[in-house]
Amino acid sequence: MSAATPVPDLRATLPLVPWPSAVEALDAPVAGLAVVRLDAPDDELRELAAELLVAAGAQVDPAATVSVALSLDADAGPAGSASPERYTLRVTSDGVVATAPERVGLLHAVRTLRQLLGGTGGPDAVPAVVVRDAPRYRWRGLSLDVVRHFFGPADLRAVVDLVAAFKLRVLHLHLTDDQGWRIELPSRPELTEKASQTQVGGGPGGYLTGAEFRDLQRYAAARFVTVVPEIDLPGHVNAATHTYGDLNPDGRPTDVYEGIEVGFSRLWLDLPATEPFLRDVLGDLARLTDGPYVHVGGDEVHTMDADEYARFVERAGSIVRDAGKTPVMWQEAARGTLAPGTLAPGTLLQYWDPKADREPFVDAARAGARFIMSAADHAYLDMKYTPEHPLGLDWAGCVELRDAYEWEPEEVIPGLPADSVEGVSAAVWTETLTTRDELFSMLLPRLPAVAEVAWTAPASKDWAAFRARVAGQAPAWRDAGWEFHPTPQVDWP
């Protein structure tokens, strides 16, 4: 562009979410990408890329003259970036070239291209640009409760598609709680037999079979999404204490629970049945899990003394480690140590409750724990958008789109060393969410806001530009059948 040409603010005109590390507009004609040839290093990647480009209105034809070429190249990405996810995308009227050191970066590049195709010119007139991009954090995720209301394989695949569309890499599934046990385990089939058939407010409930869970992981892995399963311990366990009376001091099964109170149920570490139960369920879950992480909960145990809680967390963590996985725990487990600061190094803690005392987090970080930021006042997408919103809870206040966008993960815990932040996860709890449409209307448009917090450098974030870019996603959401909440904070097309 010559110096005299006013430079439009690319951040507001290109419909890219999350905003990339560097975008350079070329002083060159737009690219016609309505019919393209697709070259990729392997068939799996070619098929995924083709699906995305076709969804954006392009046609893929091996005889086309314009090509979209994906190729592995260690030199791709922003200067100086060592992220394995980095990529470069060059769009000109001669065609598209995407390069990345790893396949994941090539798929990121295609997702960026897919968003460019959805811009105002459509696939016939895609602006000539070079994008060089890499994420801020490795852990970029969504935590989803499938207990309070059950969501089955088809809904979960749609959630994987949504998560992946915004370049998130983790789907954390909250699989057990007071209201149900949603994962079939070979050594403990009674759990799903006895404790999966209800949900909040009654209703049918449900569970994932081992085969369904494996299939879901495969579907997610093809899209570079890791599934992190959670068995919540030692609280949120009424489904287990309902199934096995011997997990209770009086030996009697507890009643089915269909309400939404939290904090009343618990295990007892010193009962003879407890340790075998922990070994069986965590061992089975680790064997079913392809990814490196197993989440063992640890939140809201309101009826256990600190010493037993600490012993419990250490037990659960070491069983998971012995099974070859890295444990993830809710923030409360920062206190899950007999002496301050002795939590096993490498443990991942998921921060959620802004009302909690921060000191144990700083101690845990000093001992080598790493943090996933799910600050409820920004990243809990089950909070209502506004007080009048018909769905959701409001214990952490309302979370409008701008609240989900404007926060800094390295500042939510004062005093925490910035380099102990592993990443960011949005979370959605389903006490009030009963259908896929309701779930998606809470995720969209707020999940893209959290995705940008996790991906984009703070200096490149801009609310006014984000509002404009997120509006540009709506046509794609409508095409995909993804329900969204048309918040008045955005001028929707």
Q: How far is the CB of 299 from ligand TNX (least distance, A)?
A: 3
Q: Which is nearer to ligand TNX, 21 or 238 (CB)?
A: 238
Q: Residue 330 or residue 371: which is nearer to ligand TNX going by CB?
A: 330
Of 441-470, binders to ligand TNX (CB under 6 A) are none
Helix (H) or strand (E) holding 278: helix 274-288
The minimum distance between CB 385 and ligand TNX, in angstroms, equals 14
Q: Give the chain's length.
A: 493
Nearer to ligand TNX, 145 or 400 (CB): 145
**68/146 with CB nearer ligand TNX:** 146
Is residue 356 at the binding interface for ligand TNX, with CB under 6 A as the rule? no
Give the CA angle between residues 5, 10, 11 to the nearest 5°.
150
Residue from 300, 314, 438, 462 binding ligand TNX (CB under 6 A): 300
Distance CA 370, CA 481 (A): 37
Q: Is 252 exposed, middle or buried (0-12, 13-18, 19+ CB in 10 A)?
A: exposed
Catalytic residue of the set 300, 308, 314, 410 = 300
Contact track, ligand TNX, 100-139, x by CB under 6 A: ----------------------------------------
Q: Find the binder of ligand TNX among 10, 26, 367, 393 (CB under 6 A).
A: 393
The question of whether 438 is a catalytic residue gets the answer: no
Q: Given the complex with ligand TNX, which of 125 and 262 has the nearer CB atom?
A: 262
Q: What track of x and - describes contact with ligand TNX for positions 250 through 269 (by CB under 6 A)?
A: ------------x-------
Count of positions on this chain that bind ligand TNX (CB under 6 A): 11
Q: What are phi and psi of 307, to 5 degrees?
A: -70, -45
- Note whether 330 binds ligand TNX by CB under 6 A: yes
**Of 309 and 352, which CB lies nearer to ligand TNX in the complex structure?**
352
Minimum gap (Å) between residue 253 Cβ and ligand TNX: 22
Q: Which of residues 230, 299, 363, 377 is near ligand TNX by CB under 6 A?
A: 299
3-state secondary structure of 296: strand
Closer to ligand TNX by Cβ: residue 145 or 184: 145
What whole-number distance in Å separates Cα of residue 353 and Cα of residue 165? 28
Tokens 């690219």 sit on residue: 31
Which token pair is 444? 């969209």
Residues within window 420-439 making contact with ligand TNX, judged by CB under 6 A: 429, 431
382 in contact with ligand TNX (CB under 6 A): yes
Helix (H), strand (E), coil (C) string for 331-399: HHHHHCCCCCCCCCCCCEEEECCCCCCCHHHHHHHHCCCEEEECCHHHHECCECCCCCCCCCECCCCCC
Q: How many CB atoms lie within 10 A of CB 281?
A: 22
Contact string (CB under 6 A) for ligand TNX, positions 22-61, x = contact? ----------------------------------------
User: What does the alpha-carbon distance between residue 425 and residue 415 come to, in Å, rounded to a whole number?
Assistant: 20
Measured from the CB of residue 353, what is the shortest distance to ligand TNX in angstroms? Answer: 7
> Can you tell me which of 380, 385, 440, 484 binds ligand TNX, judged by CB under 6 A?
380
The Cα 203–Cα 180 span in angstroms is: 12
**C-beta atoms surrounding 413 within 10 Å:** 22
CA distance 213 to 12: 40
- Which tokens is 32 given? 């016609």
Question: Is position 184 an interface residue for ligand TNX (rule: CB under 6 A)?
Answer: no
Tokens 């996933």, residue located = 372
d(CA 235, CA 226) in angstroms, rounded, equals 25
* Measured CA angle at 261 (ends 255, 262), to 5 deg: 95
Catalytic residues: 300
Give me the residues that bind ligand TNX (CB under 6 A), please.
Answer: 145, 262, 299-300, 330, 352, 380, 382, 393, 429, 431
